[in-house]
Amino acid sequence: MGTEAGGAIGRLTEALGKLPGIGPKTAERLTHYLLAASRVEVFALADALRAIKENIRRCNQCCNLTEGELCSLCADPRRDASVICVVEQPRDLAALERSASYRGLYHVLHGRLAPLENVGPEQLTTSQLSRRVQGGTVKEVIMATNPTLEGDGTALYLSSLLAPTGVRITRLARGLPSGSVLEFANSQMLADALEGRRAF
């Protein structure tokens, strides 16, 4: 490409190459695309990039990403403030919202308790969650961390942290995705589905 190291073109290629799923070849192709694109298009991209760091912050209540003091969910009076669903990441919240079957509020941990990776409770939003629950309006906390060992461990830690408040703590059931067939479910899904069975 005839770029000197540290030059604008080289820096862009290097920065793009750090994005997930983008290898050096793709990074180079994107750089060429942007070089050829209009000023308006490229500046719009640059502005959008800048804005996600300058304008996006954590919601004062649930730590979801937002542009205001409160996220749109926390600010919505139709949501049930007595139930909090705890998730690891904003993308998990988005997935649950897409299911359109939950009317309560959320709490985003921004990670999971992973002592082996040096991620302790202090790296997560656990103390904010504690304060919310101690506030008294919350009746139920639903643990919706990932069904992995670390996700389960995070839920376990949080439930022991919140136990003294007397709040009801529940865990997402796990098992068969609706619409799947028993025949193709793996044995773990079936075991979980059996364990999580409910009365009719």
Binding site for other proteins (CB under 8 A): 20-21, 115-118, 120-122, 126-127, 130, 148-150, 152-153, 155-157, 159-161, 163, 186-188
Number of other residues whose CB lies within 10 A of the CB of residue 157 = 18
Query: Whole-number minimum distance, CB 95 to other proteins, in Å?
Result: 13
**How far does CA 14 lie from the centroid of its chain?**
27
Return the one option of other proteins, Zn ion, none that residue 121 interacts with (CB less than 5 to 8 A, by type).
Answer: other proteins
The contacts of residue 151 (CB under 8 Å, 6+ apart) are: 88, 112, 145
Exactly one of 13, 27, 59, 157 binds Zn ion (CB under 5 A); that residue is 59
Based on the shown chain and the rule CB under 5 A, indicate whether residue 13 belongs to the binding site for Zn ion: no
- Residue 150 near residue 112, CB atoms below 8 Å: yes
Tokens of 50: 């800048």
Based on the shown chain and the rule CB under 5 A, indicate whether residue 141 belongs to the binding site for Zn ion: no
Tokens of 156: 């376990």
Return the one option of Zn ion, other proteins, none that residue 188 interacts with (CB less than 5 to 8 A, by type).
Answer: other proteins
